[in-house]
Structure formats: structure tokens, C-alpha cells
Amino acid sequence: MPICFAPLHCLQGQGVSHFINFVRIPALAIRQHLRPLAPLGLLEEDCVTMRVWPNGIDLNLHLNNARYLSVMDYGRTHLLARTRLLERIVRARWTPLVGAAWVTYRRSLPLFTRFTLSSRLVCWDERWFYIEQIFTGSAGLAAVGWVKAALRGPDGTLAPQTVLAAIEPGIVSPPMPDSIATWNELTREKLQVGT
């Protein structure tokens, strides 16, 4: 598991984690327009440090399971901003869509704990981007999530290769890991149930 150490690479964002995504994601887009974050290569890892606030906990006084997905939304938007995709998405009025999400939990993140969310684009195919997101607290790995996402334009779903090559010409997808390929096949299989 890659760990981020460089201060520029692991931006401090603890003050933003208590805002709901309805506020903090548009705020990030505006901030990116006014004062852009340090740029990042499309296949590089982005890290954001946050804190567990009272509005994100459950009765066990740790980060609520559902809140992980909300934090992951913000992490992906932060990654989009740093890889220069966010500005293109906003300008073209493309719609980011999640096709599937999977999270597994290892350790709790207690109230007021600081944690780091690392996000990276793992690979892509003709339709989907596959993103890995890792939560790390002071005790180590807290959770791992995978997200299968797409961009939709006025004429339908955009090919990831076309979108990414416009930013980094010549880029090609890394091989899809067997674990993600298996998960992807399971999601397709489940969508066939009852149809």
C-alpha cells in the first residue's frame, strides 16, 4: 500500500471534513478556479488529511459507515481538481456518475481522530474509471474502497481514454488488477438478477 509523505502531496484538509458535500464540493471547485491546488499526474496518488467530527459519527462514537462514502466523494473531487480533470468537467458540464462502490473496514476512526484519505486512478476501460481510496488513521489502515465511475456528456457516456488523452497525450491504462476485474464481474452479474 503506497503511503504519502511529501507535504505538497498530502494537503492538509482537516477543516473541510465537517462540511456536507453539498457545500464543500462546490467550494472546492470555486477554490480550484481562484487558487488551483498543486497539479498531479493522472496516475499519481492524492492525499487529503481530515478529522472525524461529531456530525460524522454513530452511536459507537466513530466515523459512521455511510460517512465513508461521503468522504470518498470529496476525495475523488479533490483528485479530479489536482489532475486538471475537474475544470474540464465543469466547463463541459459533464456529469460524474458512480456505477458501483465497495468498501471494506479494518479499524475504527474514533471521534476527533485525524486520518488521511488517499485516492488514485487505478485503471480504466472503454466506459469506466476505476479508483482506489484508502483511509489511514494513527493506528494504520482503517478502510479501503473501490469506485467504478463514469462521465456522461450530452451525447452519452464519454470514453475515459479520450478524456484522459486530452490531458496527457499518449497515456494508456495500466493493466486492470485481477481483484478489480473480479469485483467488476460481480457487479455486472448482480445487475442481471431479476432482469
The model's pTM: 0.84
* Residue 116 in this model has a pLDDT that exceeds 90: yes
| Residue range 1-51, pLDDT digits in tens | 443 433 333 333 434 344 455 556 566 666 666 677 788 999 999 999 999
Whether 129 and 120 have beta carbons less than 8 Å apart is answered as no
User: What CATH class is the domain 10-192?
Assistant: alpha beta
Which residue ranges make up each domain of the chain? Answer: 10-192
The backbone region for 85, taken as left when phi is positive above 0, alpha when psi lies in -120 to 50, beta otherwise, is alpha
Whether 125 and 185 have beta carbons less than 8 Å apart is answered as no
| Residue range 39-50, pLDDT digits in tens | 899 999 999 999
Query: Which pLDDT score is estimated for 83?
Result: 94
